[in-house]
Each structure stands twice: as C-alpha cells, then as structure tokens.
Amino acid sequence: MEARFNYYATATGAKFVKHLNSAGAALKDAGVPYATTQLVLLRASQINGCGMCTDMHYKDAVHAGDRPERLNLVAAWREATVFTDAERAALELTEEATRIADAAGGVGDAVWENAVKHYDEEQLASLVSTIALINAYNRLNVICRVPAGDYQPGQW
C-alpha cells in the first residue's frame, strides 16, 4: 500500500502537525501512566482502522516494557484479565469518545463516572485530550492512506 499523497510534506500539513505535536507534548506530565496512555492510543487507532498509529503505539508500548501478550488483548479488553480497573476505565472512555456517532449523547454518564473513580481532574483532562488528539492523527492517516509497518520506536 502506498500513501494517497504525502500530507506531511506539504507546508500546511507540516505546520498543522507541528501544532498537534505541541499539543501532545503538553500532556506528558499530567500523571496518567505511560502504559495507560499507550493503551488509549492503541485502542482508538484500532477502532479507527489507522494502521500507522496502531503499529506505532504497539511498538512504542513494547519498547517501553509493556508485554505483547497484554497489548494483543487491547481489542478484547472486556474479556481480558490483564488490565487494571483504571486501565479498563480509560479504555472504556476511549471507546465511547472515539465512537461518538455510534452512541446517542456521546460518552455516557456511567462511563464518565467510572473514569472519575480512577483519575483526578488533571488526569481526566489529559485522557480527554489524548483521545481527541489520537482521533485527529488517525483521521489524517486514514484519509491519506499512510501505510503501516515501518515505524521504529522513537522515530518521531
């Protein structure tokens, strides 16, 4: 598969992605564990069919020490026993926030209240922002058909 066009090589694309990257950098010190953030990024990317981001976040998580056995169960997290209650709350929030069009009213109150049990306001702000940001990246890559498979951890 080849990219439809190289969005990232355009002046507009490069400028936009620079701002997205800056937004992502603002989230690093909000207290959400790195492993949880990677689970969120991976799950949203799976839902959106973004091969590039799925490849990247899987590899980054493994590189950071997460177990492939755990990451292979992200799409089936409800049935898996390898996730903490806090990680499950983040994955549930990710799914509902990513699938807004599938649920009338968006993220349900029960899902939000479950997230509130595990994360403080700064962490919630980080999770919500991370979910919004990965959805933007997923859409860029899916629209442009950015191929997956060649990412190396730390490449970006």
Residue ranges per structural domain of the chain: 7-144
State the pLDDT at residue 123: 97
16-37 average pLDDT score? 93
C-beta separation of 27 from 129 below 8 A = yes
Rounded to a whole number of angstroms, the CA Rg of the chain reads: 15
Strand (E) or helix (H) holding 156: none
pLDDT at 155 over 90: no
Model confidence pLDDT, tens digit, residues 94-128: 999 999 988 767 899 999 999 999 999 999 999 99
> Could you please report the per-residue DSSP string of 67-124?
-HHHHTTGGGTTT-SSS-HHHHHHHHHHHHHHTGGGSTTSS-HHHHHHHHHH--HHHH
What was the pLDDT predicted at 112?
A: 97
77 pLDDT band, cuts 50/70/90, is very high
What is the average per-residue pLDDT within 16-27?
94
Q: What is the mean pLDDT of residues 24-28?
A: 91
Predicted confidence at residue 114, as pLDDT, reads: 98
Q: Which CATH number fits domain 7-144: 1.10.3720.10, 3.40.50.720, 1.20.1290.10, 3.40.640.10?
A: 1.20.1290.10
Nearest to 55 by CA among 134, 155, 151, 156: 151
Q: Is the pLDDT of residue 26 over 80?
A: yes
The confidence score (pLDDT) of residue 68 equals 97
pLDDT of residue 101: 84
**pLDDT value at position 29?**
86
> Looking at residues 79-92, what average pLDDT do you find?
98
